[in-house]
Amino acid sequence: MIRKMSALMLLFALSAMGISADQNAPAPQPEVKPAYQVFAISYGVIPDFPVAQLVAGADKSRKMDIQLMVWLLKGPGGRNILVDSGFYREKYFKQYKIKDFIKPSEAVRKAGVKPQEITDVVITHMHWDHAGGADLFPTAKVWIQKDEYKYYVTDPDSPAKNKSGIDPDDVAWLVKIAGNRKQLKLVDGDAKEMIRGIVFYTGGRHTYASQYLGVNTKAGTVVVASDNLYLYENLEKHAPIASTFDAASNLNAQDRMKKIASNPRLIVPGHDPEVFVRFPKPGNGVAKIE
């Protein structure tokens, strides 16, 4: 009893002197940002696409096969974030000749992830070839800019002429999940680190409020531009994308991407087959950006 008392008194005395029991515990380390692995995954090709619809001012006779891609961000702890979700609905196969198509939910398997293991889908913009497969990942959280969502999904007054390329089935899916606030995540504007290690940016103006991402990786910050930058050629010629709400804003966004990315080669455009040439590994329609 006496020994117990003295131990207690010693503790009181120590705390009175400002010395706590974990005095010798290691000092807290600065928080380390999670590092993601970034993969571009091919899910098809549209042959003979006019380059002038991608690069403002390009020669009207030029054509190229454009790449259809989704991007997978593999993080620690089983977090698998899919940036854009492609498309799969039948109507588009009547409208376009599409080669080498793989349903996006199958395409992710090439990077070693099952569709039910996708935890998040980031919709960069509402076009059919980027938002069309979101319902293939029915349990994932869906991240979209609030202004993009308002303009294309909930605002009946936004001009119909600006809504070409928007699939009513995608709109219906987003309306359906909107009641579940844990599933639908609206991003409120520019430069928001909504997920640790991943910053959401606006200003590319491909659509009303299209977004792109800066992703922390072991190789530095990778920019997943999606259609805010169609091709490497846009960057190299300093030419805005041909389809934008605001060409000057698009060029500013391209300049900004060069500052955000740790190296310009880590900027990934939205439809350039060259991505799989510059990053040939691991192959089979999967490119690891590093």
Q: Which stretch binds Zn ion (CB under 5 A): 53-61, 76-84, 222-230, 245-253?
A: 222-230
Based on CB atoms, which residue is closest to Zn ion, 80 or 210?
210
Element (H, E) at 122: strand 120-122
Assign 3-state DSSP to the chain and report helix, strand, coil percentages, each to 5: 35, 25, 40
CB of 239 to Zn ion, least distance (A): 17
Q: 70: closest CA among 121, 126, 135, 139?
A: 121
Q: Near Zn ion by CB under 5 A, which window of 62-70, 108-116, 120-128, 138-146?
A: 120-128
8 Å CB contact between 164 and 129:
no
Q: Segment near Zn ion (CB under 5 A), from 15-23, 123-131, 216-224, 249-257?
A: 123-131
Among 120, 170, 227, 272, binds Zn ion (CB under 5 A): 227
In the complex, the smallest distance separating the C-beta of residue 261 from Zn ion, rounded to whole angstroms, is: 21
Q: Does 127 bind Zn ion (CB under 5 A)?
A: yes
Provide the token pair at 22. 């974990």
Answer for the pair 4, 31: CB distance below 8 angstroms, yes or no. Answer: no
The CA distance from 256 to 264, in Å, is 11
- Of 34 and 165, nearer to Zn ion (C-beta) is 165
Q: How far is the CB of 207 from Zn ion (least distance, A)?
A: 7
Of the two residues 25 and 160, which places its CB atom closer to Zn ion in the complex?
A: 160
8 A C-beta contact, residue 211 and residue 189? no
Segment near Zn ion (CB under 5 A), from 67-75, 111-119, 122-130, 250-258?
122-130
100 token code pair = 């080498």
Q: Which residues bind Zn ion (CB under 5 A)?
A: 127, 227
